[in-house]
């Protein structure tokens, strides 16, 4: 609750500052030169984007405003360039009364790391949007296999969101794999078995059933007795023994 209040308060301050900056820019002399760039990145808890990388891109694209006449700087051009990055959710570029260019960026939040059947590597956010340009290594649940449809990606996001909320399964699931039939398999950290869940629906119910089986079954017969555990069907746990 406190974090939400802080975020709302910060957004109000940023909006007020933007209005204030735009108002005072109207009275700046036409020949005033830009003194530099002030960059703020929000929703960047995983450090997926850095101020240094933005400054570098501005220089590469010839859009670094420092030293340029303020009235010749086109904020929309900078915004358009920054929005080309798949990690950027929103961007506002504005001129301040201190002769700086202010840039406020909000980021998409990567929640799962994907390695698909074509060798492609990318991240997905909580809306299943593909994120390709991540600056730093991010440790998230890993998905692999035959991942080529929007429905499959949405299913992976459902699993990632579930893992965020459930500590036991977040620590137990090492990898998520999609078969050619678009069925989902979980690879656990403990035990030499795989978990076949079918589609990514009723996850809470399916995994609660399996957790109970872990406690009442595998703790008694041993964690290495089976190579497959299927929890796709309601009220059933189907185990396949090792050869």
Provide block-wise average pLDDT over 10 residues at a time, the chain (243 residues).
51 54 50 91 87 94 94 94 94 93 94 92 94 82 94 96 94 95 94 92 93 84 84 88 74
pLDDT of amino acid 44: 84
Q: Is the Cβ–Cβ distance between 163 and 175 less than 8 Å?
A: no
**Full domain range(s) for residue 79:** 2-107
pTM of the model: 0.78
CATH of the domain at 192: 3.40.50.11690
Q: Are residues 151 and 192 in the same domain?
A: yes
Residue ending a domain, choose from 107, 124, 154: 107
pLDDT of amino acid 190: 86
Q: Are residues 71 and 136 in the same domain?
A: no
E strands, the chain, are 36-42, 88-95, 100-107, 112-116, 121-124, 130-131, 142-145, 173-178, 184-188, 194-198, 226-230, 238-241
As a whole number of angstroms, the distance between CA 94 and CA 153 comes to 36
Q: Are residues 30 and 142 in the same domain?
A: no
Q: Are residues 173 and 237 in the same domain?
A: yes
pLDDT of amino acid 219: 74
Cα end-to-end distance, the chain, whole Å? 52
pLDDT of amino acid 125: 94
Q: How many domains does the chain have?
A: 2
In our burial notation (b when 16+ CB lie closer than 10 A, e otherwise), range 103-131 reads bbbbbbbbbbbbebeeeeebbbbeebbeb
pLDDT of amino acid 63: 96
pLDDT of amino acid 240: 87
DSSP classification of residue 34: P
φ and ψ at residue 72, rounded to 5 degrees = -100, -5
pLDDT of amino acid 26: 47
Other residues' Cβ atoms within 10 Å of the Cβ of residue 232: 17
Instruction: Give which of 178, 185, 175 is closest to 149, Cα–Cα.
Output: 178
Six token digits for residue 156: 């992976």
């Amino acid at each position: 609750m406190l974090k939400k209040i802080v975020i709302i308060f910060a957004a109000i301050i940023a909006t007020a500052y933007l209005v204030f900056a735009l108002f005072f820019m109207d009275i700046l002399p036409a020949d005033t030169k830009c003194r530099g760039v002030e960059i703020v990145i929000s929703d960047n808890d995983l450090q997926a984007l850095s101020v240094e990388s933005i400054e570098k891109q501005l220089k590469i694209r010839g859009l670094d405003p420092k030293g340029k006449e303020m009235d010749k700087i086109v904020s929309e051009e900078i915004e358009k360039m920054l929005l080309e990055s798949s990690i950027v959710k929103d961007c506002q570029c504005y001129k301040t009364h201190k002769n700086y260019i202010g840039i406020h960026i909000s980021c998409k939040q990567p929640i799962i790391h994907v390695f698909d059947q074509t060798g492609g590597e990318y991240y997905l956010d909580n809306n299943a949007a593909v994120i390709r340009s991540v600056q730093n290594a991010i440790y998230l649940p890993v998905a692999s296999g035959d991942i080529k449809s929007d429905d499959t990606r949405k299913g992976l996001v459902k699993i990632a969101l579930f893992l965020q909320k459930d500590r036991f399964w977040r620590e137990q699931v090492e990898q998520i794999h999609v078969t050619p039939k678009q069925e989902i398999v979980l690879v656990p950290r403990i035990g030499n078995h795989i978990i076949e869940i079918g589609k990514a629906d009723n996850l809470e119910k399916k995994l609660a059933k399996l957790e109970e089986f872990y406690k009442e079954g595998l703790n008694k017969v041993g964690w290495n007795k089976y190579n497959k555990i299927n929890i796709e069907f309601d009220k059933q746990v189907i185990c396949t023994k090792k050869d």
